[in-house]
Each structure stands twice: as structure tokens, then as C-alpha cells.
Chain A
Amino acid sequence: MFLSKVLRIVLIFFIATGIFLGSFLVFYSGEAEASSITKWQKMLERNGIDRTLWQRYLPKITHKEYNKIRKLILSGASATPVATPAAVAPSLGPDISVGLWYFSKSDTFKLTANKGYNIKDKDGKIIAQVAGDAMTKVVYDDNGKLIVSGSIPDTSVDDKVTFDASDGDNSSIIFDVNKPGDSYDHFRGKIEVNYYHGNDIYNGNSSNVSQMWVINILPLEQYVWGMGETTGTGPDDHVKVMTTIFRTYGDWYIQNATKYKPLGFKIRNDSGSQIYGGYDWEKDHANIRKAAEATRGQVITYKGDVALTPYCSYTDGKTRDYPGSDYPYLKSVKDHKEGTKKDMKPGDNGNHMWGLSAHGALGYAKDGKSWIWILGHYYTHVDISGIY
């Protein structure tokens, strides 16, 4: 009698607990299902992929579905929101900021564009929208401030002013930045003027300087189109080699460079990083853009990370191991005879002899080697992967 009473109590307790936990599970499983964001969904969100491309796979995006979306994007769908399917355009990649040159307190910076442009302050607030042919001037004022004038009445701004397309389409705007003594002074994308005061990082000395930096910010692909390191006149595979290296080099700087951050940019436009001529160079050397489009988004990676891809003009017959063990793919390899100058020593004329020899690569391309083979020859055990 006693035992059956105990059993009854246990049974009732079981049923009550079951009802409680069952309701709890139904409620929270439903909630959790709705909010169960998988790591694949997080990757899509973090990469800014248009939600309309993956919404149908919700509530739970699997690895398989992630790969489907990825393939869709690689096949040409835009990763960013678009108005209509007809407006889908290939991605031009992440933005890179390029330091063009700096001017001093006594100089005046002048700028026009091929279409209407915004003048924005350091917080991104639009100060004015002006016609493309209206010339805007920037001079140093005082206490780290700049004065914007010309196209608008004199306006004092903080230490940074930005110019971009007033119609929102920065992919087709071209600025004329009127660089003194330089005919390569047209640039795609955005232009910034950034005041810097501090150690002379750019010239590598500890004296205090004040510099007004002119900076070009544009998508990585358009940056590659304007690379001044080559004329693009060699075999197609050689130009593809070079554009892939330029893109990889730029991407490595986007992700890892810090040296010029206080100045407001990631990479220099001269041989201190890699030579960038902008739109004028792009116009005069159409093969570079052609090869860049043929290899769009392809970068050299090592174990999933973008590789550091130094390159030089010549070697003495072999490239050199890069110091340390951080970049195991930068191993000494034999160079092609076309890239070989027997009397050259590492360091001569900036030829560090790490990574790829540009003239050696040209020799291999003339021999009929493919761009993929050439990259695999100079950079050991790497992959070539599409990042957009």
C-alpha cells in the first residue's frame, strides 16, 4: 500500500516534470531554432553578403548551403545588396587606401572630377555637393585644421576632408588631383586629404613634421588596373602572373599593414610598396586591366591566409630564402635565365631576390608556362584562391 503510494507520487512527479520540461523544450527549441545562427551564417553576415542570396536557407545555414552561396557569388553574383537581379555586377573587392603624396603647409591642393562630388568632413558628414568641374581647394589653416575653398565658400574643417561621388557610384568617378609635376594624377574612387603631425614615418626619421596627405581609396581590383609596375606588354600569362601578385600584395597590406596608419593609409604608391599610377596608367596600359579581369579576385594564399608576395626585377640565378620562418613559402628557387644577372647581389637596385623574379617570370611565360605554374614555381606550396 505504502509502495503503491510512493509509486503514484513518483509517477505524478514524472508526469508533471515531463509536462514542464516538454513545454520548456518546445518553447526554447523554437526560439533557438529561429535564432540559431550557424558559423556559416555569421561568415556570410560578416562578409556583407546580400541577405537575399541566403535567406531561403534560413533558419539554419549549413556548410553545404554556404558553399552553394559562395559558388553563386564566385560565378558573378554581387556580394552586396542590389536593386534588381539585372543590376548584378562582379565584386571589385575590398577598399585599399593608397598614399599618393603629401603637401606642406604653404601648398594648396586642388581637385576636380568627371562628375558631381561630395565634400565630407572627418565624420563623413556632407559639407557640400558640387559639380564635377568645380575646383575645390584645400589648404592648411592652423591648429591641425584645414580650410576648404574654391567650389564652396571658405570652410574650416578638422584634420580630414573626403571627396566622393555625389550620386553614390564611386566605381565610375575619376578625380583630377592636379599633382604638381606629375601627369599621372587622375584617380578612381575616393580622395582624402589628411593632416598629420608627428615623427616623419614616411621618410624614416624621427624629426617632427606636418604633412597634408593626399590619399586614394578605391576597390582592390581598380587599384590593380592602375599598377605601374608593368606595362602589360608581355605574354598574357605573364601579365596574369603580375596582376595576381599585385592583388595579393595589396590584399596583404589591407589585412596586415600598420606602418602608415598614423598617416591615414595602408600602402604607398611608389617602389617603397608597389608603384601605382592610377587611372592615367590604366588608360595607357589596357592589357593590365584585361589580365586583372581575367584573374579577378584571385590571390595567392598559404594555409588559408593571404600570402606575402614580394617580387623583384632580377636575381643572380636563384631567389633567396626570406629571413625567419614566418613565410615558409618564400624559399630559394632557381630563376629563369631571362631573370638572371650573374653579377647582381641581393640588395642591388632594390632587388632583394625574395619571391618572384619579374623578368624570370617573363622568361617562363615566353617558354609557354602558365601563370599558375609560374606562381607555383616562385612561391612554394601555395594556393591560388578566389576571395570575391
Chain B
Amino acid sequence: MKNFKWILIVGFVLIAAVIFGYAYTILKDRYGHNPSGNFNVNRVLGVNESNSVLGNQNGNAENLNQNENGNENLNQNGNDNTGFNTNSSDKNVTGKDCDNDCSRFRGNQENYKYCQEVCGDIPVSKKNSEEDCTNLTGLEMDYCLRDLAVSKQDTTICDKISDSKLKTTCRNRVAEELLN
């Protein structure tokens, strides 16, 4: 009988845990942080599915998976291991932020500058060699490397940038230079 009691209690705890777990996911979905917007793609309607007429020779399954995961990409933050004094969600610069002149970040000077650098609001300053960047750290070094890459029109310099969004901006910006 004693064993039966314990089975009942354990069973109760397990059932309660499952129910609370379920309730938690509902509440999290409802009230949890839900970032909106996307730096790069904010309007493409599932571009890589049935309306594709060429067929990617790398395999459609991979592409479909990439496409279905597109929304998850919205939540990706850059590499935050840059000595930047804030949490990663504060840095989640979206395309909307670029359209709004980074107004959301004006309260924080560092975040504001980061947003402006990602969005291209601050013109690139000419750099002559990597030595121009050697004494810098964190994002300041990334900004400098981006400027150097653009000045040299050398996309391989972008690979040295730590922050993923700045790296992307750098590659795109160098492409603009090369095609100009």
C-alpha cells in the first residue's frame, strides 16, 4: 500500500510536470520576446519552392530546408564576442532599423553607431593597410577592417571581421565597389 502511495505521488508529479511544461510553452509563445524584421530578407515569399523554374543542382531538399528556416534567421544575432557592452538582442539590427535611420538605437551611443555602421549610414573612411587597424579591438577593429576591405576592394579582408552582420555588410560593400 505504501508503494502504491508513492507510485501515485510520482505519477502526480510527472503529470503535473508535463502539464506545467505545456502551459509554459503556451505562455512563452504568448508573452515571450518575439523580434520582428530581418536585416536582409524581409519580404521574399518562400522564393525557393514550387515556382523555381531552373532547379538547383545542389538539391532541392536542402534549399527547401533553408527556405523553411528563413524565419528563424530573423532571430540570429551577430557574433557578439566583440567586447560590445550590451546584450545581443539590443544589437539585432533589422532592415526596418536601416529604413528608420537607426532611430530605435539613439538612446545608446554604441548601439547607435553599430546600427549606422551595419546600415551604411557612416561613409567608409579610406584605410591604407592592416596596420591602421592593429591597435583597435572589438567592433572598432571590425569597422576598421571593413573600411580597409572596401579601400583595397579585397573581400578576403572581410573574413577577418568578427561580427557577422558587419562581415556581411563588408562583403556586400566590396561587391558594390568591384562592380562599380
Contact = CB atoms under 8 A, between A and B. Distances in A.
A155 interface: no
Contacts of A262: 120-123
A386 B47 contact: yes
Given A17-B12, A261-B120, A323-B155, A46 B48 contact: no
Residue from B19, B23, B48, B175 whose CB has the most chain A CB atoms within 10 Å: B175
A261 B121 CA distance: 6
Interface string A42-76: 11001111000000000000010011001101100
Interface in A305-326: 305-306, 308, 310, 323-324, 326
A383 B55 contact: yes
B56 A381 contact: yes
Interface string A91-127: 0001000000000000000000000000000000000
A231 interface: no
A136 interface: no
Nearest to B8: A10
B119 A261 contact: yes
Given A198-B123, A257-B176, A304 B47 contact: yes
B27 interface: yes
B58 interface: yes
Interface in A294-353: 298-299, 301-306, 308, 310, 323-324, 326-327, 352
Contact of B47 (A6, A24, A71, A301): A301
A35 B23 CA distance: 14
Contact of A308 (B19, B47, B154, B175): B175
B51 A74 contact: yes
Given A48-B43, A199-B123, A384 B36 contact: no
B30 A43 contact: no
Contacts of A303: 48, 56, 58, 62-63, 66
Contacts of A47: 42-45
Contacts, number: 173
A217 B70 CA distance: 28
B179 to A, nearest CB: 5
Interface stretch (B78-86, B105-113, B129-137, B165-173): B165-173
Contacts of A42: 36, 71
Contact of A273 (B2, B51, B179): B179
B97 interface: no
B14 interface: no
B76 interface: no
A385 B40 contact: no
Contacts of A298: 53
B56 A382 contact: yes
A258 B173 contact: yes
Interface string B29-63: 11000001110111111111111111111100011
Nearest to B36: A46
A39 B29 CA distance: 12
B54 A382 contact: yes
A388 interface: yes
Contacts of B120: 257-259, 261-262
Nearest to B1: A3
A381 B179 contact: no
A255 B70 CA distance: 15
Interface of B: 1-2, 5, 8-9, 12, 16, 19, 22-23, 26-27, 29-30, 36-38, 40-58, 62-63, 66-68, 70-72, 95, 98, 119-123, 126, 154-156, 169, 171-173, 175-180
29 contacts: A10-B12, A21-B19, A24-B23, A28-B27, A31-B30, A32-B26, A43-B45, A43-B71, A46-B37, A67-B46, A67-B50, A256-B40, A258-B169, A258-B173, A259-B120, A262-B123, A273-B180, A301-B48, A304-B63, A305-B40, A306-B47, A323-B156, A352-B179, A383-B53, A383-B63, A385-B47, A385-B48, A387-B44, A387-B47
Given A257-B176, A304-B67, 17 more contacts: A10-B5, A25-B19, A28-B30, A31-B30, A32-B26, A39-B72, A46-B36, A46-B38, A70-B45, A255-B40, A255-B41, A257-B172, A258-B173, A261-B119, A299-B47, A352-B178, A383-B47
